[in-house]
Amino acid sequence: MKRNEEYDWILNELPYADPFLFLDEILRVDNNGAEGSYLFKSDSDFYGGHFKNNPVTPGVLLTECCAQIGLVSLGIFLLGKETKLKNLSIGMSSSQMEFLLPVFPGERVRVVSELVYFRFQKLKCQVKMYNKNDKLVCKGVLAGMIGEANE
């Protein structure tokens, strides 16, 4: 997959790395929301035990993927390219997710978020995750705190 280099600065600011990075590409980000994709790799360790002989991606990891793409990436964008993000502080404050379809090993998903509000370092978004057939996998509302930590 060819990466959209316009958003590499956001990827470089993310406080995650393998094996806990659930974002391959940012497809779009603006003041109203973000969109990105991730491939859940078939050889990921968690598939060995969730569930035996019938692996499915855990809902908590689907939520994390939605948060990294739809909340954190958007928050970094809203803070701005010029902001010194050396002391970036991120924390999830609430999540309300509804899971509609399973995500199996080797599936690529696409997350779309819509900004609800961003004020006083609190960011709230509606998120939706789609599979390769554009079927809704999960949806919900995520909120967190994002900004520069005081030293």
* pLDDT for res 2: 52
* Catalytic option among 50, 108, 122, 124: 50
Q: What is the pLDDT of residue 108?
A: 98
Residue 66 tokens read as 């939605």
pLDDT on residue 1: 45
Q: How far is CA 101 from CA 59, 91, 136, in A?
A: 10, 27, 7
Sheet holding 108-119, edge to edge: 25-30, 33-39, 108-119, 122-130, 136-148, 88-99
In a 13 Å sphere around the CA of 141, the CA atoms on its Cβ side amount to 6
Known catalytic membership, residue 50: yes
Q: List domains and CATH numbers for the chain.
A: 5-148 (3.10.129.10)
Q: What is the mean pLDDT of residues 113-132?
A: 96
Residue among 66, 67, 59, 74 nearest 117 (CA): 74
For residue range 14-37, list pLDDT tens digits in order.
999 999 999 999 999 999 999 999
Distance CA 54, CA 72 (A): 31
Query: What pTM was estimated for this model as a whole?
Result: 0.93
**What average pLDDT does this structure show over 105-133?**
97
